[in-house]
């Protein structure tokens, strides 16, 4: 068995070289969250503590979800990965999981000190068999399907996971947290705090913090009881609670909860809860091949017909037609 190299998350003076393998369908924020903390660390310390290069499978620009292309410096080459390989992917990841790509990934990681997946990049590492026997995470929307697809992986709902030389993150903000952790580990807390200050980023999280379905944020006038109610809705997508039950658990009356939602969200808790469930359903319709009856069950609808009516009312198309239109 190959011996793992020393962790990259340690204090050491030698520069760290990072290769970003970016796929079309990625979020531009995930790319920026990987690179910009490293750039800021170099600027703050006045040292080239980190270097990076962007590559793509075919050497052509990766088109992000916002339509902004990310130009690479080269085609992905397993022999030129540097110290760290970061795989960044988003929508359409199933189309990228082809044998040549996975084979090159498997060769590439043998030449790195560490490697990881950002958001759907975890799926590519999983398809390559590189997460078997490891703890890992991915975006919260895909955790259940991810665990089902890779039973040999210990799937966690954490913001990011580091398991030996392998790291995985749930999205752009958790990736920023991971990069701050890397800066802190290698350059010290003062440097990490300065990097966070550059981006006015004042809410760093621990790796084991769970990924929320809804990022409530730290808004002026934010009432923690509202956040508690939203978290309960998130936790009961498949078996919806009554608004009265949610209010009771949040320690308020149903009328008070209605006021909190009206003031902060601009709609009733019932309408918000339905929208939350339908958003989860739309993701399953557009991004997976899950049967419609199963989607209805997983998002708390009493029957496929009820689900279809609610879906059509919200999105102007029945779920089956939306899926067909997106897949041509």
> What are the structural domains of the chain?
16-198 (3.40.50.880), 224-327 (1.10.10.60)
Summarised one tens digit per residue, pLDDT across range 11-52 is 988 999 999 999 999 999 999 999 999 999 998 888 899 999
CA–CA dist 97, 105 (Å, integer): 10
Instruction: Using pLDDT thresholds of 50, 70 and 90, give the confidence band for residue 4.
Output: low
Q: What is the pTM of this model?
A: 0.70
Q: Which two tokens stand for residue 243?
A: 């608004």
Report the candidate in 149, 153, 197 with the shortest Cα–Cα distance to residue 40: 197
Query: Residue 255: exposed, middle, or buried by beta-carbon count in 10 A (0-12, 13-18, 19+)?
Result: exposed
Could you tell me which of 320, 286, 283 has the C-alpha nearest to residue 144? Answer: 283
Q: At 63, which helix (H) or strand (E)? A: strand 62-63
- Report d(CA 207, CA 158) in Å as an integer: 6
Three-state SS at 56: strand
Beta bridge partners of 90: 92
In angstroms, rounded to a whole number, what is the distance separating the alpha carbons of residues 220 and 259? 16
Residue that has been written with the tokens 């934010």 in this structure: 222
Count of C-beta atoms within a 10 Å radius of residue 316: 9
pLDDT band at 206 (very low <50, low <70, confident <90, very high): low
CA distance 37 to 176: 7
Q: How far apart are CA 8 and CA 268, in angstroms?
A: 48
Q: The tokens 């919806």 sit on which residue?
A: 240
pLDDT the model gives residue 1: 39
Q: What is the pLDDT of residues 237-248, one digit of tens each?
A: 999 999 999 999
Q: Which of 209, 211, 243, 215 is nearest to 227 (CA)?
A: 215
Lowest mean pLDDT among 36-40, 86-90, 180-184, 186-190: 186-190
CB 272 within 8 A of CB 229: no
**Residue 62 tokens, joined:** 């990766």
């Amino acid at each position: 068995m190959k011996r793992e190299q020393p962790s990259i998350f340690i204090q050491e003076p030698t520069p760290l070289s990072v290769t970003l393998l970016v796929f079309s369908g990625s979020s531009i924020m995930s790319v920026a969250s990987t690179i910009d903390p490293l750039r800021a660390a170099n600027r703050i310390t006045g040292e080239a503590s980190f270097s990076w290069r962007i590559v793509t499978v075919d050497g052509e620009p990766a088109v992000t979800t916002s339509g902004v292309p990310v130009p690479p410096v080269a085609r992905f080459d397993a022999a030129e990965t540097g110290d760290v390989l970061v795989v960044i992917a988003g929508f359409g990841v199933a189309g990228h999981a082809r044998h040549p790509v996975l084979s090159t990934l498997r060769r590439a990681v043998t030449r790195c000190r560490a490697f990881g997946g950002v958001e759907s990049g975890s799926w590519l590492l999983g398809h390559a068999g590189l997460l078997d026997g490891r703890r890992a995470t991915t975006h919260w929307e895909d955790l259940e399907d991810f665990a089902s697809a890779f039973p040999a992986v210990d799937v966690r709902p954490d913001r990011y996971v580091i398991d030996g030389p392998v790291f995985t993150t749930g999205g752009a903000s958790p990736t920023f947290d991971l990069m701050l952790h890397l800066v802190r580990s290698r350059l010290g807390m003062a440097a990490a705090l300065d990097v966070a200050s550059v981006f006015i980023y004042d809410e760093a999280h621990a790796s084991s913090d769970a990924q929320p379905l809804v990022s409530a944020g730290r808004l002026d006038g934010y009432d923690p009881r509202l956040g508690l109610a939203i978290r309960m809705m998130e936790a009961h997508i498949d078996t919806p609670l009554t608004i009265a039950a949610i209010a009771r658990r949040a320690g308020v009356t149903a009328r008070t909860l209605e006021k909190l939602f009206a003031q902060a969200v601009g709609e009733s808790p019932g309408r918000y809860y339905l929208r939350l469930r339908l958003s989860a359903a739309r993701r399953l319709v557009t991004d997976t091949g899950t049967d419609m009856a199963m989607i209805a069950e997983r998002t708390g609808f009493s029957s496929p017909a009820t689900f279809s009516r609610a879906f059509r009312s919200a999105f102007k198309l029945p779920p089956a037609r939306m899926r067909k239109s997106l897949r041509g």
